[in-house]
Structure 1
Amino acid sequence: MITEIYCVSGISGEEDAHVFISSGENVRLSCNNALSGCKSTTWTYSNNHSETVALITLGIKKKDTERHERLSLESDCSLNIKNVTEEDYGFYICQQFVNDTQQGTDARVFLHVLHVSVSLSSSSSSSSSSSSSQTEISPGCSVTLSSQLYSDTGFSCDDWVSSEGLGLLWVNQAGVDLKTDSRYQILSSDQYHCSITLTTTLLNEDNNREWRCRLTQRNKLKTSVRYTVKYSAQASTTAVNPVHITHSQDPSTTNTYVSKDPGETEVSVTAGLLYRVIVIIVEIAVFAAPTVILLQIICARRAGEF
């Protein structure tokens, strides 16, 4: 599904389109000056960390770009970007050229990407993840969700907030602001970067809990990112009950070990298996002995007849 959220803003002094999207989604950037057939259409891209590169030249997609596989051109010459990443933010320009001469004016689009990065820590270890959807973790971990709006407008976050009314907010599944709960530590962005972080220590009941970072403009929702807490089955069991390891070779003999050392359990199981093997060998010997004796008697009688 292609998601398009855009507005026309005067922050740059021109009628530029501003598109807000969350990482992992698909987006369509409109080209409002396109000529029919798109054979004259050229799309270029740049941001404050890269030079201008051509993505589409005269209707043909460039193959030497990193995002080549994620780009496509619509019949109306709009640019589709699949599975948007935070690196896709920047300034896109759609132009029309006929016989090397530009026709009309530029169609300018600013793409703003909302992305959440995740960092985890515990008393025994720490790890980090850049996934904005789901990460397997366990109760007792401290989790920090950092949500940042990646933009290339040349303006600070303070300018965005004051002139465009942008806001970032962490809420729960019911849409309640998490700032109202002392369990969560919320830190807002500095004057230059539009970001907001949420930090909390996970509880058993947080399994499958969802938090959302919402981006609004003048109190109107533009886009949001969801983060779902997902405990592994082993982590959930360990957090609630003691560990029980059960080995069953015979339904009538079941040994249960509660929180034992793995080496001790392995030795016990090996001894049990050895005992079973010895029993089987003895049983075979007991049943086989009469048969062997009978065969020897038959052979002796036949030898006497000759």
Structure 2
Amino acid sequence: MADKCDLCLLGLIVLSSLLTGTSGVDDAHVFISSGVNVSLSCNNDLSDCKSTSWTYSRYSSVKLIDRGIKNKDTERHERLSLESDCSLNIKNVTEEDYGYYSCSQYVNGAQQGPGAYVYLHVLHVSSSSSSSSSSSSSSSSSSQTEISPGRSVTLSCQLYSYIPCDCMSPCDYLFSSEGLELLWVNQTGVDLKTDSRYQILSSSYHCMITLTTTLLNEDANREWRCQLTRRDQLKTSVTYTVKYSDPADPASETAGLLYRVIVSIVEIAVFAAPTVILLQIICARRAGRKDSKRPEEIEMPTILQ
């Protein structure tokens, strides 16, 4: 156990040098939000990418690109591509894409250049809402539409990070030693911790910060932003926009009621019209029969003797 922790400690020291840029190898930490595209750079010393390989690691290693050819056995192969400079492009990044990426180029068994090693960290927001009678949950990187005023909503903003060490939480290390911080802010960038309407809870162990509040009518189209900073410098952010599925609009409700009343009147008129016409025909026929009787057939009143 001691040897394992010593190895982890050594790895963390190396990781610290990567973050601060003091390593002799070209390593990088990329912070990105889910739902966008990202390009991971490779030290390309060749005229083409036929000798370029990209490997992904997180508890196990997977070859994504092997000598310029994409591995189609991976679930995300359709979102991967090589750019002209041999960088790895990932479309529509998800929280499952976080991890360790390495690029290498070999010609005749000899490595060309120092290679490139990239830690990809993904910021993602999920949401859940509930009311007194029911509850629902969903995941989103930008907005939530199945909500309405009066419901309580909780937004969970998490940074997905990977460090190859079992001795401590990757988040604890990153947040304590590298000055990382997660914040919920409003549209003008004001920290929502200053507003008593919001309940903000954070956990450096899980790289997470949550926001809980009860939605108001005026929250329609309001934006809340979860942002990640490193030593007070913005690295990435995710915006959550409140979009109601059935906004409370009095004018709209009045128009809807008027429309339903008109439809009801039309339906009644359509149903009653044939009956009225039939009654008119019957009355007309009876009146015609009376008019067609001969004078002698008309009963004379009895004269009292």
CA offset at residue 159 of structure 1? 1.7
Of 227, 243, 248, the residue aligned with 1:236 is 248
Question: Counterparts of 1:14 and 1:275 in 2: how far apart (Å)?
Answer: 90
Q: Report what 1:23 is aligned to.
A: 34
C-alpha distance 66-82 of structure 1, shift in aligned 2 (>3 A): same
Q: Report what 1:301 is aligned to.
A: none
Of 82, 85, 98, the residue aligned with 2:94 is 85
Q: Across the two proteins, how many residue pairs are aligned to each other?
A: 263
CA offset at residue 98 of structure 1? 1.8
C-alpha distance 183-174 of structure 1, shift in aligned 2 (>3 A): same
Q: Report what 1:142 is aligned to.
A: 152
Question: Counterparts of 1:122 and 1:79 in 2: how far apart (Å)?
Answer: 44
How far does the alpha carbon of each residue in 1:238-257 deviate from its partner, in whole angstroms, 9 at most, with x for none? 8x96883643558xxx76xx
Q: Report what 2:180 is aligned to.
A: 166
Fraction of identical pairs, as percent = 65
Question: Counterparts of 2:214 and 2:223 in 1: how far apart (Å)?
Answer: 14
> Any idea what SS the aligned residue of 1:161 has?
helix
Question: Counterparts of 1:181 and 1:12 in 2: how far apart (Å)?
Answer: 41
Q: Which has the higher strand share?
A: 1
1:212 aligns with 2:225: yes
> Any idea what SS the aligned residue of 2:248 has?
helix
TM-score between the two structures when normalised by the length of structure 1: 0.77
Q: Which has the higher helix share?
A: 2
> Any idea what SS the aligned residue of 1:9 has?
helix
Question: Counterparts of 2:274 and 2:179 in 1: how far apart (Å)?
Answer: 78
Conserved in 2, the CA contact under 8 Å of 1:146 and 1:196?
yes
> Any idea what SS the aligned residue of 2:228 has?
strand
Q: Report what 2:69 is aligned to.
A: 60
Bigger drift between 194-203 and 157-166 goes to: 157-166
CA offset at residue 100 of structure 1? 4.2
Q: Report what 1:303 is aligned to.
A: none
How far does the alpha carbon of each residue in 1:101-146 deviate from its partner, in whole angstroms, 9 at most, with x for none? 4334331000000000001111121111111211111001100000
Question: Counterparts of 1:11 and 1:201 in 2: how far apart (Å)?
Answer: 44
One-letter identity of the residue aligned with 1:279: V
One-letter identity of the residue aligned with 1:85: T
One-letter identity of the residue aligned with 1:188: S
CA offset at residue 274 of structure 1? 2.4
CA offset at residue 64 of structure 1? 1.5
Conserved in 1, the CA contact under 8 Å of 2:44 and 2:86?
no
Question: Counterparts of 1:245 and 1:126 in 2: how far apart (Å)?
Answer: 33
C-alpha distance 225-273 of structure 1, shift in aligned 2 (>3 A): same
One-letter identity of the residue aligned with 1:247: R
1:179 aligns with 2:193: yes
The 5-angstrom pairing of residues 31-110 of structure 1 reads: 31-48=42-59, 51-110=60-119
RMSD: 3.0
How far does the alpha carbon of each residue in 1:78-97 deviate from its partner, in whole angstroms, 9 at most, with x for none? 01111000000000000112
Question: Counterparts of 2:171 and 2:30 in 1: how far apart (Å)?
Answer: 16
Conserved in 2, the CA contact under 8 Å of 1:11 and 1:163?
no
One-letter identity of the residue aligned with 2:233: K
How far does the alpha carbon of each residue in 1:233-275 deviate from its partner, in whole angstroms, 9 at most, with x for none? x34248x96883643558xxx76xxxxxxxxxxxxx8655422
Q: Report what 2:161 is aligned to.
A: 151
Question: Counterparts of 2:58 and 2:227 in 1: how far apart (Å)?
Answer: 24
C-alpha distance 14-120 of structure 1, shift in aligned 2 (>3 A): farther
Conserved in 2, the CA contact under 8 Å of 1:11 and 1:164?
no
Q: Report what 1:194 is aligned to.
A: 207
> Any idea what SS the aligned residue of 1:157 has?
helix
> Any idea what SS the aligned residue of 1:38 has?
coil
Conserved in 2, the CA contact under 8 Å of 1:34 and 1:41?
no
Question: Counterparts of 1:280 and 1:56 in 2: how far apart (Å)?
Answer: 80
Larger Rg over CA atoms: 2
CA offset at residue 281 of structure 1? 4.8
Question: Counterparts of 2:67 and 2:131 in 1: how far apart (Å)?
Answer: 54
Conserved in 2, the CA contact under 8 Å of 1:34 and 1:76?
no
Conserved in 2, the CA contact under 8 Å of 1:90 and 1:112?
yes
Structure 2 unpaired stretches of 5+: 1-16, 290-305
CA offset at residue 279 of structure 1? 2.9
